[in-house]
């Protein structure tokens, strides 16, 4: 059974991100997560995506390798999107069939949650791909 999981693996190459102190990387990740959950509009998500793209380019880790971490969580993302689509109440009903209603508010919430989860997984992958387990342990200590 071949499972390609990239979260938690270290990608040993030389880059500016690899050379950063692990405490700085951890602090940056926690700050990114907090800012991501404080974001209220599409502009904030666009800025978050642009920042993440810059960090990925600076890390010299192939983006394809970075996005492999999403494979394992795509089911959870889809489940979250479906729950938000069908169970978030709202006034602007887009689709209704029996007791099933999809509202504009549900679509907006589902999109926000999907973006947050995707950005969180990719940002976590950046941390683990650019920091060896020993450095990460020392940084947490």
E strands, the chain, where?
Answer: 93-97, 100-103
CA distance 89 to 106: 7
Average pLDDT, the chain: 88
When mean pLDDT is compared across 35-39, 59-63, 67-71, the lowest value belongs to: 67-71
- Name the pairing type of β-strands 93-97 and 100-103: antiparallel
The secondary element (H helix, E strand) that includes residue 122 is helix 104-130
pTM, two decimals, is 0.85
Comparing 46 with 94, the larger pLDDT belongs to 46
E strands, 17-118, where?
Answer: 93-97, 100-103
pLDDT at site 140? 87
Q: How confident is the model over 78-125, as pLDDT tens digits?
A: 999 999 888 888 888 888 788 788 888 999 999 999 999 999 999 999
pLDDT band with cut points at 50, 70 and 90 for residue 5: low
The percentage of the chain sitting over the pLDDT mark of 90, rounded to a whole number, equals 52
């Amino acid at each position: 059974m071949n499972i390609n999981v990239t979260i938690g693996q270290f990608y040993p190459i030389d880059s500016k991100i690899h050379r950063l102190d692990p405490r700085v990387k951890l602090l940056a990740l926690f700050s990114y997560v907090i800012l991501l959950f404080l974001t209220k509009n599409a502009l904030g998500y666009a800025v978050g995506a642009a920042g993440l793209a810059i960090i990925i380019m600076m890390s010299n880790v192939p983006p394809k390798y970075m996005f492999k971490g999403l494979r394992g969580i795509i089911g959870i993302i889809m489940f979250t999107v479906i729950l938000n689509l069908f169970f978030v109440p709202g006034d602007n009903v887009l689709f209704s069939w029996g007791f099933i209603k999809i509202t504009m508010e549900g679509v907006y919430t589902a999109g926000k949650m999907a973006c947050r989860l995707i950005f969180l997984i990719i940002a976590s992958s950046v941390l683990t791909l650019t920091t060896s387990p020993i450095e990460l342990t020392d940084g947490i200590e």
